[in-house]
């Protein structure tokens, strides 16, 4: 009896497996996982805020061509993420926001340092790095674009005289982030950009040029050359296994 019952139990297994549906199943969680996997980039993204002085005779097209040529040359010879961001061109200064991978960003700064050292009158001078945001979750800008800010040279109220550096930088970053979010909502893909009338459309979101000039003169911020020197400097870390007690002494 025991033998026959065991035989019947074994014989039902292939019959049961044959009736089991083989249709692949999925759920919303798996769909979201696949969506996130497809959106992952090969390189981490970083965002940097730069300010600099420019010569009065430089034109918008020349400045744009310089950066576009640099971007294309870097991405042609080195793997990295495409560059997105915004270049605000004031009469004698610029505000530049860049979003890209660390390797591409490194070579953009290196290209500037090379021009600054080798050319006596390079049209971009006194560049300072205000802040670098590492491993940003997503881009704010859909493309890289240039806009001219037409503002008067003289200001009735100089904000840099009555506020501390921390207050000036806080307001500066608040304005630029709000401006970036505004452009993200209004500027469409494959368009020429926001145009040259931002000073009329959203004047409250544009940092005054006096703030840009003030940040360029501030010694608290690094220039690209000092930043690259720190970037290339090796980091020495002492592990616990390397510490010997008692400490060795020389007799």
Q: What is the pTM of this model?
A: 0.74
Domain 43-228 belongs in CATH node 2.40.50.180: no
* Lowest mean pLDDT segment, chosen from 17-26, 86-95, 109-118, 195-204: 17-26
- Relative to beta strand 124-133, strand 45-54 is antiparallel
pLDDT over threshold 70, residue 162: yes
pLDDT over threshold 60, residue 55: yes
Express as a percent the part of the chain with pLDDT over 90. 44
Q: What is the pLDDT of residue 191?
A: 62
Whether the CB-CB separation of 93 and 54 falls below 8 Å is answered with: yes
Q: What is the pLDDT of residue 244?
A: 61
Q: What is the pLDDT of residue 34?
A: 55
* Lowest mean pLDDT segment, chosen from 35-44, 73-82, 116-125: 35-44
- Give CA–CA dist 169/41, Å, rounded: 31
Whether the CB-CB separation of 36 and 119 falls below 8 Å is answered with: no
Q: What is the mean pLDDT of residues 182-205?
A: 79
Burial 80-98 (b: 16+ CB within 10 A, else e): bbebbbbbbbbeebbbbbb
**Which residues, including other chains, have CB under 8 Å from residue 50's CB and lie 6 or more apart?**
94, 95, 96, 97, 98, 127, 128, 129, 130
pLDDT over threshold 80, residue 24: no
Q: What is the pLDDT of residue 16?
A: 47
pLDDT over threshold 70, residue 93: yes
pLDDT over threshold 90, residue 125: yes
Q: What is the pLDDT of residue 43?
A: 82
Highest mean pLDDT among 32-46, 111-125, 190-204: 111-125
pLDDT over threshold 80, residue 172: yes
Domains of the chain by residue range? 43-228
Whether the CB-CB separation of 51 and 216 falls below 8 Å is answered with: yes
Q: What is the mean pLDDT of residues 97-104?
A: 94
Q: What are phi and psi of 84, to 5 degrees?
A: -125, 160
DSSP code for 56: T
Strands of the 84-89 sheet, one edge to the other? 124-133, 45-54, 93-101, 84-89, 144-148
- Give CA–CA dist 43/33, Å, rounded: 19
Q: What is the mean pLDDT of residues 229-238?
A: 73
- Residue 26 binned pLDDT confidence (cut-offs 50, 70, 90): low
Q: What is the pLDDT of residue 201?
A: 85
Whether the CB-CB separation of 149 and 90 falls below 8 Å is answered with: yes
- Give CA–CA dist 170/140, Å, rounded: 19
- Give CA–CA dist 129/169, Å, rounded: 12
């Amino acid at each position: 009896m025991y033998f026959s019952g065991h035989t019947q139990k074994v014989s039902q297994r292939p019959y049961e497996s044959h009736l089991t549906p083989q249709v692949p199943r999925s759920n919303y969680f798996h769909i979201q996982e696949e969506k996130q996997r497809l959106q992952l980039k090969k390189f981490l993204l970083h965002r940097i805020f730069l300010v600099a002085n420019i010569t009065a005779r430089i034109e918008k097209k020349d400045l744009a061509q310089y950066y576009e040529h640099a971007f294309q040359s870097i991405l042609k010879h080195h793997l990295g993420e495409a560059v997105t961001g915004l270049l605000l061109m004031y009469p004698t200064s610029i505000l530049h926001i860049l979003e890209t991978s660390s390797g591409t960003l490194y070579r953009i700064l290196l290209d500037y340092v090379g021009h600054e050292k080798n050319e006596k009158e390079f049209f971009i001078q006194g560049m300072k790095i205000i802040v670098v945001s590492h491993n940003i979750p997503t881009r704010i800008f859909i493309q890289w674009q240039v806009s001219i800010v037409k503002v008067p040279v003289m200001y009735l109220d100089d904000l840099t005289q009555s506020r501390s550096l921390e207050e000036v930088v806080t307001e500066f970053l608040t304005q630029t982030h709000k401006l970036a979010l505004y452009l993200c909502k209004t500027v469409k893909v494959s368009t020429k950009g926001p145009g040259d009338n931002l000073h009329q459309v959203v004047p409250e979101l544009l940092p005054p040029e006096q703030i840009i000039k003030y940040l360029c003169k501030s010694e608290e911020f690094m220039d690209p050359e000092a930043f690259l020197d720190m970037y290339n400097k090796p980091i020495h870390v002492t592990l616990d296994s390397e510490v010997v007690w008692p400490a060795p002494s020389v007799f």
